[in-house]
Amino acid sequence: MKKFLVIVLFLPLAVCSQSGNDLLIRDGNEFYKKQEYPKAANQYQKALQSDPKDLKASFNLANTYYRQDQKVEAAKLFSGLLPDVKEHDLKNRIYYNKGVILSDQKNLEESIEAYKNALRQDPSDREARENLQKALLELKRKPPPQPKEEKKDKKKQQQQQQKQPQSKLNQKETEQRLKLLQQKEKQVQERIQKEKNKGIGGSNNKDW
């Protein structure tokens, strides 16, 4: 039975304080739970306008991008967070979520690296370990890419195969035409020979 990668993001980060930014993030989280992702994204963006370095707002916004099938934007946002993050727990979440997105895009090599980084931050992360194993297995099953020269040779071979029937047909037509010409030439020669024979026979009759 084929095993599929677990496509589950870490949930948005919660907030504890009552600052203006935290209230926006909290509202965004409520919309997120209700699967109202555009509204959630709007709240997180408002929080980032107030504080562009708010890691929680950025992390949660990346989650909403993923949920809205904006996976490239989500992956970029997660990657952009990493240089500013110091906490191992948050780094683990970012790498894990990035791995999920890359797996979903069938970018197995980079997803494997992301899961490895997640495990470096938290070796006890069971889901990251499972996804890493499944990604490695899927990569092993993936057929290796063909060398460029081999691709070119195959293309040339295909082109030659397509041209062959046409060249054979042309050759056949040429042979038929040649036979017709030979037959016509033979008929002409026979006619000339007959006329010669008639001429010789006629003169003999006259002489005699």
Tokens of 110: 């980079």
- How would DSSP label each residue in 160-172? HHHHHHHHHHHHH
Mean pLDDT of 33-60: 92
Quote the pTM value: 0.61
Please name the residue ranges forming H helices in 105-147.
108-121, 126-141
Find out whether 89 and 79 touch, Cβ atoms under 8 Å: no
Which CATH topology does 20-141 take? Answer: 1.25.40
Of the candidates 101, 87, 98, the one whose C-alpha atom is nearest the C-alpha of residue 56 is 87
Q: What is the pLDDT of residues 12-25, one digit of tens each?
A: 555 555 667 888 98
20 phi, psi to nearest 5 deg? -60, -45
Q: What is the pLDDT of residues 186-203, one digit of tens each?
A: 887 777 777 766 655 543
Query: Which CA distances in Å does 157 have to 143, 144, 153?
Result: 22, 21, 6
Q: What is the pLDDT of residues 124-156, one digit of tens each?
A: 999 999 999 999 999 998 877 766 666 666 677
Find out whether 117 and 95 touch, Cβ atoms under 8 Å: yes
Find out whether 118 and 96 touch, Cβ atoms under 8 Å: yes
